[in-house]
Structure 1
């Protein structure tokens, strides 16, 4: 495997990003977080990408922040910079114009669990495990809480945050943290099937819809409907909406132009 902290592979509209710190369970060093931010910025401008798959190399998905690096620095300014950078990364995932799918094997803990909660979809191996265990080391998972509380119910989020226990994939699915649990040997196949299905749709429509979802979810009901009525009107004016409707009426396959 490459020495790069982050490995990017593109194929048929699917961009696969592999966290590549296997000896450290892909913990989020400052360098890895900055590499992810830079890559998401590149993807945002790359119209050939229609969906992103985020996965971990080695034995697990991501174990959270690199605590050894943080303690080695040992200064308040560095800690603030670390958590600010992590927050910036999570917002890049949420605000990216194309969907991001987490492909999880092994552990996804603390900021690793935060990544899963920030992604649009999550597919996990039946052997994967999840936790926000900061309370066990005197460091409450406050920034992971932001993503977790927007992904699962209040009581499920507080269960994970207050107990800090490791939960299995089935429990994570019951909570709504992940979408699918599959046999470990089928994880990559299932992820690719989901990614390919999204990639086959209009990038323009998906982008409009994802960004509208992020904007409307925190609005009062009437404001959300006002916003999304405007968005659907905007969407109707695109080339792909006209193409898709015509293809549906005439029972043919649409020819997306992604505009």
Structure 2
């Protein structure tokens, strides 16, 4: 059955080996990687645009990058009015596309704002040979979990930004029952579901319905049979994608990076806005995360799309995002 059409500025990343239950073989992993790279590589410049590492210290580079964009260019002595680009601007310019909506539109012209991870066939994904997969795509990734998510498939689904499944869809880490616990897949599962739930899945190797995952997976209900359930799922995914592509893609990308970065703040030392070390507050890192995220909010507020969003709200009209070009 063909996958439903997606709105403009959205694209599929697909698992396409239903005859092998969409098991993540080396070839399938290569295919997923190639699709991700394709959807994040500029067709104009050939540059691959991924989010920076989820490290708090990167924020200082983003702040400097925005400052360099906001500063008027220095005239060159030999060419009045020409821009002077010193060597220390090269690393700052690396991230200009992430902090400026207009730069984002130029850099990512022709690339999707939302990616939908989907599988052909009745099984979303099975197998135990998934290696580390990171969600560094600036586009938000929706996982359309249309069938059982087993072992690496469970990991893959829960690595997505927004997994969606029918309430009765099973998620399972079966390895312990085979004498080979799913110690690699459970890394992603534990970070999405929490230690207690994830360890229960690891130890018992039993099915857990999507409805039992405590909101970690968005669920749909209804449908008398498999085809009807998939139709209900597709309708939900379609509505979500339609809403997501209507957001500012630059601000969504920045928000995604900031969210996953702040979850890693656990009271440890990190770099402040001046590049000097900041002593962590200890505890669960909440105070550090609040202070760090305050700096992110300041960057959000400087984006052209923040001003456009506020103007549109006050003028009671739809926003026209600069990040869309």
TM-score (norm 1): 0.83
What's 1:96 paired with?
Answer: 137
Is 1:223 matched with 2:288? Answer: yes
Structure 1 residues 97-141: Cα deviation after superposition (integer angstroms, max 9, x where no partner): 121111112210000000111111111124421101111111111
Distance 1:216 1:105 in 2: 31
What's 1:18 paired with?
Answer: 14
Provide the alpha-carbon RMSD of the alignment.
2.0
What's 1:121 paired with?
Answer: 162
Q: Secondary structure at the match of 1:44?
A: coil
Is 1:206 matched with 2:271? Answer: no
What's 2:312 paired with?
Answer: 247
Q: RCO greater where, 1 or 2, for CA within 8 Å and sep 6 or more?
A: 2
* Structure with the higher fraction of residues in helix conformation: 1
> Once the 2 structures are TM-superposed, how far is the Cα of residue 227 of structure 1 from its aligned partner?
2.2
Residues 135, 161 of structure 1: 8 Å contact kept:
yes
What's 1:137 paired with?
Answer: 178
What's 2:208 paired with?
Answer: 167
Is 1:53 matched with 2:116? Answer: yes
Q: Secondary structure at the match of 1:53?
A: strand
What's 2:35 paired with?
Answer: 39
Describe the shift of the 1:126–1:180 C-alpha distance in structure 2 as closer, same or farther (beyond 3 A). closer
Q: Secondary structure at the match of 1:113?
A: helix
Aligned positions, number: 230
Structure 1 residues 148-198: Cα deviation after superposition (integer angstroms, max 9, x where no partner): 1111122111110100001223223x3x33122333131111101001101
Work out which of the residue numbers 195, 216, 230 in structure 2 matches 1:177.
Answer: 216
Distance 1:214 1:243 in 2: 26
Q: Unaligned stretches of 5+ in structure 2?
A: 43-107, 223-228, 266-284
Structure 1 residues 76-112: Cα deviation after superposition (integer angstroms, max 9, x where no partner): xxxxxx55xx20xx21xx2221211111122100000
Describe the shift of the 1:168–1:186 C-alpha distance in structure 2 as closer, same or farther (beyond 3 A). same
Residues 304, 322 of structure 2: 8 Å contact kept:
yes
Distance 1:180 1:170 in 2: 6
Structure 1 residues 53-89: Cα deviation after superposition (integer angstroms, max 9, x where no partner): 1111011100133xxxxxxxxxxxxxxxx55xx20xx
Residues 64, 108 of structure 1: 8 Å contact kept:
no
Residues 24, 127 of structure 2: 8 Å contact kept:
yes
Q: Mapping of 1:72-111 within 5 angstroms? A: 86-87=131-132, 90-91=133-134, 94-111=135-152
Distance 1:126 1:162 in 2: 23
Runs of 4+ in structure 1 deviating by more than 3 angstroms, as ranges, are none
Distance 2:263 2:153 in 1: 23
Work out which of the residue numbers 23, 31, 37 in structure 2 matches 1:27.
Answer: 23
Distance 2:217 2:27 in 1: 27
Q: Secondary structure at the match of 1:58?
A: coil
What's 1:195 paired with?
Answer: 241
What's 1:76 paired with?
Answer: none
Q: Considering only CA atoms, is the larger Rg found in Structure 1 or Structure 2?
A: 2
Residues 123, 182 of structure 1: 8 Å contact kept:
no
Distance 2:221 2:256 in 1: 25
